[in-house]
Structure 1
Amino acid sequence: MKVKTLRIISIFILCVFVLSGCTSNTPADNSSAGTGEKSSTTIVTSFYPLYIFTKNVAKGIQDVKVVNMTEPQTGCLHDYQLIPADMKTLEGADAFVINGAGMEAFMDKVLEQQEDLKVIEASKGIKLLKDENGEENAHVWVSISGAIQEVKNIAEGLAQADTKNAGAYKENAEAYVKLLEAQREKMHKELDTFKKKDIVTFHEAFPYFAEEFGLNIVSVIEREPGTDPSAGEIADLIETIKKTDCKVLFAEPQYSQKAAESIAKQTGAKVYLLDPVVTGEKDAPEDSYIKAMDENLKVLTEAFRQNQ
C-alpha cells in the first residue's frame, strides 16, 4: 500500500513539473510566434492635420496605432527643429505620414538616421501653387479638395505598407472622403452666393482655400507667422486695402492678431479669425477638421454678409 501511495505521489509531482514547463510567467509580446513579425502597426504623423486625416483612415482597425510626432499646438513646420523625442518616436514607426511639398524641411536628417523608414507623402501628385517669388506653397490641406487628395494618398500608402489591412484603410478613406465632399458642397452652396469676396490674410496659408471658394486675397499681412511686417510694408498694405475698399481682415487663432488689429484701425476694416487647421487638441476626435471648416464657413458668411 505504501509503495502504491508513493507511486501516485511521484506521478503527481512529475505532472506538476511538466505543466509548469508549459506555462510561461512572462507577458506576451506583440510579435507573431515563430515569424518574428509585429502583429501591431504604429503610424507616426508629422503634425496636426495629417494626424486627423490618418486617424480617419486607420479608424477602428485593430492593432493599428496613430501617433503624432509633434505637439498638437506646434502649428506649421516651416522652421521646426527635430528634438531627441521625435527621433525616438520615429524609431518605433512602421510608417511616417508627412505633408511633403517642402513643409517638413527636416526630412533629410530623418532619412540619414532611418534609411528604411516608410515615408508616405500626403501631397504627392497635387499641383502646387506658387507665390509671387516662385516659391511653392505647401498648405494644400487647407483646401477641402486638397485634404481629400491627401486622405486618398495616405490610404494608398498605408495599404502598401500594411497589406493585411489594405482593404480597411481604403474603406475608411472612402467613408471620410464622402464626409469631406459633403462639407465642400455645403460651403460652396453658402459662399458662392456672395459676389464680393476680397480678403486680407495673416500669412500664406489660404491660397488653396481661396482658389477653391473663389476668394480674392488682396494682400498678406505676414508672409510667415512670427515675422513682423516692416513700417513700409504696413504702409503699402494700408494703401492697398484703401484702394480696393477691402473691409475683411483674417487673422489666425494660432497667432497674435496685433498687426491685423493695428491695420484694421487705420483702414476701417474688421478682423475675423479663420482657422487653417494646423493646431488642435492632443487626442483630437476624427471630425475635428470638418468642425473647423464648419466654423470657418460661419465666420466667412458673417464677414461677407456685412461687407457686400
Structure 2
Amino acid sequence: MKKFLSLALIILTFALGGCGSEKKDAGNLKIVTSFYPIYLETMNVTRGVEGVEVVNMTPPQTGCLHDYQLTPEDMKTLETADIFVVNGLGMESFLDKVIESRPNLKIIDASDSPEIVPIMEDGVPNPHVWLSITYAIQQVKNISSKLCELDPAHAEAYKRHTLDYVDELTTLRDELHLSLAMLPNKDIVTFHEAFPYLAAEVGLNIVAVIEREPGTEPTPQELAETIEKINSLPVKVIFTEPQYSPKAAETIARETGAKIFELDPIVTGEAKPENLLDYVDRMLNNVVTLAKALQ
C-alpha cells in the first residue's frame, strides 16, 4: 500500500510541476513586444523592475513585420502575456487576429498619440516612425504612460527610467542634427521605404527608392528611372540595408558610378538586456555613415 501511495505522490508531483511550467509565475507581469525596435523601447522603460518580464515575440532576424504571419510559437507566447506592445500604424498587420484570439489582452500602441504625425504613402501610413529620434522619444513616452496606467505599482520606476532614456535619446538627436546640419548634399537614394522619418528630421531629400516593396526586385523600368535620377545628382550615393540583398543597388551603382553605403533601420537584433543601448549605438553609426557619404 505504501508503495502505491508513494508512486501516486510522485505522479502527482510531476503533474503539478508540468502544469506550472505552462504558466508564468503568479504575480509577475509579462509584457510581449511585437518586434525589435519596440522591444528596445519597452526594455528601457522597464529595465530592472522586479517582477516584470519583457519578451520579444519575433525571432532576432525577422526585421520589419511587412506581411508577417503569426506562428504557433507566437500564439503560445501571447497566451501568457498580460500586455502586448506594438508599433502600430499598420506595421502589425496580424493584430486583428491577436485581438480575436485574446480579446482581453491589454495592447499598447506606441505610435498612438497626436505628437506622431504619420507620413502617408498612397493613402497608407508609413510605420517606420522609430527612425525619427524625435518620434522614438515619443514612442518611449507613450509606452511609459500606458504602463503606468496598467501597472501603477511600478509607475515611479517606469517614469524614472523613461527620463533617463529620453535624456540618452535627446543627446543622440543633438548629435544627429549637429553632424548633418551643414552637409552640402541632401539628396539620397534609399533601399526601401524605411527612412522618410529620419530624412524629414534632418532635411534630407529621398529622390528615389530602389525597392518599394521589401524583397521585391525593381522592374527594368524602375531601375532605368532610378539610374536616370542618380545620374542627375552632384553626389551619387545609394544606401542599402543590412537586412536585404544589395544586388539591385550594386547593379545601379555599376551603371551610375554611385557609391554604396549601409544604413541600419535597427529592426534585427538579440532581445537581451545587454542590448539596452543598441538603438543609440546603431543610430550613431547611421549618423557617421550619413556624414561620410554626403560630405
Q: Above 0.5 in TM-score?
A: yes
Paired position in structure 2 for 1:302: 292
Change (3 A) 1:38 1:166: farther
Deviation per CA, 1:258-285, whole angstroms, max 9, x where unpaired?
A: 1011101101110100001111124251
Shift of 1:38: 3.8
Amino acid at match of 2:110: A
Whether the aligned pair in 1 keeps the contact of 2:39 and 2:271 (CA below 8 Å) is no
Q: Distance in 2 between matches of 1:64 and 1:214?
A: 39
Please tell me whether residue 147 in structure 1 is matched to residue 130 in structure 2: no
| Unaligned stretches of 5+ residues in structure 2 | 1-15
Whether the aligned pair in 1 keeps the contact of 2:185 and 2:235 (CA below 8 Å) is no
Q: Distance in 1 between matches of 2:235 and 2:250?
A: 14
Q: Distance in 1 between matches of 2:143 and 2:164?
A: 14
3-state SS of the aligned residue for 1:66?
strand
Whether the aligned pair in 1 keeps the contact of 2:144 and 2:158 (CA below 8 Å) is yes
Paired position in structure 2 for 1:43: 31
Q: Distance in 2 between matches of 1:55 and 1:141?
A: 15
Q: Distance in 1 between matches of 2:234 and 2:26?
A: 61
Q: Distance in 1 between matches of 2:124 and 2:108?
A: 23
3-state SS of the aligned residue for 1:200?
strand
Paired position in structure 2 for 1:248: 237
Whether the aligned pair in 1 keeps the contact of 2:239 and 2:262 (CA below 8 Å) is yes
Q: Distance in 2 between matches of 1:196 and 1:246?
A: 7
Identity %: 53
Shift of 1:246: 4.3
Please tell me whether residue 137 in structure 1 is matched to residue 130 in structure 2: no
Please tell me whether residue 182 in structure 1 is matched to residue 171 in structure 2: yes
Aligned with residue 247 of structure 2, among 258, 262, 279: 258
3-state SS of the aligned residue for 2:124?
coil
Paired position in structure 1 for 2:3: none
Aligned length: 273
Whether the aligned pair in 1 keeps the contact of 2:55 and 2:271 (CA below 8 Å) is no
Please tell me whether residue 73 in structure 1 is matched to residue 61 in structure 2: yes
Shift of 1:82: 0.3
Q: Distance in 1 between matches of 2:159 and 2:176?
A: 26
3-state SS of the aligned residue for 1:244?
coil
Amino acid at match of 1:293: M
Q: Distance in 2 between matches of 1:277 and 1:71?
A: 14
Aligned with residue 269 of structure 1, among 258, 266, 269: 258
Aligned with residue 83 of structure 1, among 71, 79, 86: 71
Amino acid at match of 2:189: V
Please tell me whether residue 218 in structure 1 is matched to residue 207 in structure 2: yes
Deviation per CA, 1:225-266, whole angstroms, max 9, x where unpaired?
A: 101000011001111111234411000011100101110110
Q: Distance in 2 between matches of 1:134 and 1:176?
A: 33
Q: Distance in 2 between matches of 1:186 and 1:244?
A: 27
Shift of 1:94: 1.1
Whether the aligned pair in 1 keeps the contact of 2:189 and 2:209 (CA below 8 Å) is yes
Q: TM-score, normalised by structure 1?
A: 0.85
Q: Distance in 2 between matches of 1:196 and 1:245?
A: 8
Please tell me whether residue 232 in structure 1 is matched to residue 221 in structure 2: yes
| Unaligned stretches of 5+ residues in structure 1 | 1-25, 31-36
Q: Distance in 1 between matches of 2:156 and 2:34?
A: 24
3-state SS of the aligned residue for 2:232?
helix
Deviation per CA, 1:105-152, whole angstroms, max 9, x where unpaired?
A: 001100111000000000112110012x23210000011011101000
Amino acid at match of 1:215: L
Q: TM-score, normalised by structure 2?
A: 0.89
Please tell me whether residue 281 in structure 1 is matched to residue 281 in structure 2: no
Amino acid at match of 1:149: Q
Amino acid at match of 1:100: G
